[in-house]
Chains A and B, each alone.
Chain A
Amino acid sequence: MTETAINPEIQKIRPPRNQWWDVWDQFKTHRGALIGAAFFIFIVLGVFIGPWLWTIDPTYIDIRARNSGPSWAHPMGTDQLGRDTFARMMAGGQVSIAVGLTAMTLSLLLGTAIGVLAGFFRRLDGPLMRFTDLFLALPLLPLLLVIILLFRDSLRAAFGPETGIFILIVFVIGITSWMQTARIVRGDVLALKEREFVLAARSIGTPPRRMITRHILPNVLSPIMVSATLGIATAIITESALSFLGLGFPSDFPTWGRLLYDSTDYLQQYPERVIWPGLAISLTVLSVNYIGDGLRDALDPRIRGR
């Protein structure tokens, strides 16, 4: 930017370039975000490619090697049935990350859509916000129990035991965690709607749908980003809570949350068993938070270039 100010004559006029290049340029300067992104990619690759290299079956029971500590044969040790914790961590990571990302996306889409519609269209505001209040007022745990009891068997029959439960859990987490996003987005949209640039867009004749995509959504991106990164963490933890209650995945099916809960019984004797899944969950959440932080900065032109 400064070079062009100093020698505007010499520099050729640059054609408007895609905004995403500016975003990437700024993202690169955010060290935390870069480290977070690298670490997140590492975890994702690790859990999805790792099982090809570390070929021990996570469900294989080797009862003689049970409760062993970290060794070359079992880098993270084994559990009370002699299953390899490293293999189980990778298998569990696949499920946890998939559940976290999809449930977060679902709740984000739902929350943003409802928030924007309620904020932008005055007529929808009342009904949609009362609907949101209704969901906030519902006792979530009993609701989850009822939903899962009602739909578990039919979904299992339709998609197989694991996919069926996966769909069910993602859906359940998604539809019970969109309310905060919706409320925050609605508040921001209400304020934005009164800004003069929205009025300017109306004087140009921009129809409401493009007004939302062009002027409203880019400006509410920051709160959406924040709730997205927090949402992943909540989704992973809710999934583990459900598994703990026996309503999630089958008990022999590893997820990070399930590993965590299984090992709490042995917290005194084998504390490292709690540490592995705990560390994985918190580092994933932390890296996603940093990515979100960097993205939020990079997407705001006022911060960009600083």
Chain B
Amino acid sequence: MADGALKPLVEVRNLKMHFPIFSGILRRRAGEVKAVDGVSFDIFEGETLGLVGESGCGKSTAGRAILRLYDITEGSIRIDGAEIGSQPQDDLRAMRPRMQMVFQDPQASLNPRMSVAGIIGEPLDEHTKLSKSEKLDRIYELMDAVGLNRDFANRYPHEFSGGQRQRIGIARALALNPKFIVCDEPIAALDVSIQAQVVNLLEDLQEKFGLTYLFISHDLSMVRHIADRVAVMYLGKVVELAPRDALYTVPKHPYTEALLSAVPEPDPRLEAKVERIILKGDVPSPANPPKGCNFCTRCPKVMEICRSEEPEFREVAPGHFTACHLHDQTKSQTAGKTAASEAQ
């Protein structure tokens, strides 16, 4: 990736989202679920960053926290040069048109009592002062853009199929010409055939409107198809961040290796030869993560240092970041390399 030429649209630094746990008769604060625990990454303008990880690792929470749908515990988020990490919700309202979200479950993310025109028109009502006919024109324009029949404007969400509902959700996200869209598992609730349609639609729209995506998914093959760079999350932390091809061919982190080895292979003869890395045990509770590296309880290549010291998230190859003690020794070499690449 020619990172130097692109400017980051989204800069996330040390993002933490902890949810308090209350217990006992007095509902005292007993601890916190560290859903997202110190995540840092950039998303460059016009690119798609894939965010993968198993269920419950904090992907969706990270996506929502970046849009400040939650009040974050700590960290800084800059979108398009504006710091939104610590702004009160009222001040964020003006920023909302620039960042939008496509939700996982198209059934739940559309108000069943509103017509399609009402749903797509809601952002326009909130942020623009269009006349009734201008608004209708814009709604029709958006429906064309996502491939919905204009005649559907009067209908209600329950009358649509999953794919069509997701299109409505995408049209709503596009209504205000955002720059950055968080796609929170937009295809997880859809059939495989519809998944392809929706992903292709997202790609077309990206080309047409110059959108930047944070594409959250647990479907590694789909992420390989759509993403430019991929970040792998485990238990609230990003363990590896790399350009797509580098991550899929030479994964640096043992967790990424295990995750990639689980991708099904369509050819049955090859499938028989695939060596699966089977992780033992369960994901530790995010309320009580292990000491040292979060992955040390299940890592096949665990070392003594992993149980005591938390690995640093560092660049081990140009543009390829990982947090693993296995790559501690490569630090000096790559440090030289990156310095050289930065100098160019």
Contact = CB atoms under 8 A, between A and B. Distances in A.
A203 B96 contact: yes
Most chain-A Cβ atoms within 10 A of its Cβ — which of B117, B154, B155?
Answer: B154
A304 B113 CA distance: 11
Contacts of B111: 197, 201, 214-215, 218-219
A8 interface: yes
Contacts of A122: none
Contacts of A202: 69
B228 interface: no
B156 interface: yes
B267 interface: no
A130 interface: no
Interface string A184-207: 000000000001110111111111
B235 to A, nearest CB: 24
Interface string A133-156: 000000000000000000000000
Given A214-B122, A302-B112, A203 B117 contact: no
Contacts of A196: 103-105, 108-109
Contacts of B156: 301-302, 304
Contacts of A300: 112-113
A161 B149 CA distance: 64
A204 B126 contact: yes
Nearest to B117: A16
B61 interface: no
Interface string B126-152: 110000000010000000000001110
A120 to B, nearest CB: 14
A14 B151 contact: yes
A199 B115 contact: no
Contacts of A1: 155, 159
A206 to B, nearest CB: 6
A64 to B, nearest CB: 62
B126 A301 contact: no
B106 to A, nearest CB: 9
B101 interface: yes
Contacts of B94: 205
Chain B interface residue bracket vs A: 35 or more
Contacts of A14: 151, 154
A204 B151 contact: no
Interface in A87-141: none
Interface in B61-95: 64, 67, 69, 90, 92-94
B158 interface: yes
A20 to B, nearest CB: 12
Contacts of A13: 150-151, 153
A55 interface: no
A17 B154 contact: yes
Contact of A205 (B93, B104, B151, B159): B93
B60 to A, nearest CB: 11
A185 B102 CA distance: 29
Contacts of A199: 64, 69, 103, 109
Nearest to B136: A15
A200 B126 contact: no
B172 interface: yes
Contact of A16 (B108, B109, B122, B136): B136
A11 interface: yes
A269 interface: no
Interface of A: 1, 4, 8, 11, 13-17, 19, 195-197, 199-207, 210, 214-215, 218-219, 299-302, 304
Given A197-B110, A203-B69, A203-B101, 5 more contacts: A199-B103, A201-B111, A205-B127, A219-B111, A302-B158
22 contacts: A1-B155, A13-B153, A14-B151, A16-B117, A16-B136, A196-B108, A197-B109, A200-B103, A202-B69, A203-B67, A203-B96, A203-B101, A204-B96, A204-B100, A204-B122, A204-B127, A205-B92, A205-B126, A207-B93, A219-B113, A300-B112, A302-B158
Q: List the 5 closest A-B pairs by CB distance, nearest first.
A: A205-B96, A301-B156, A196-B109, A16-B117, A196-B108
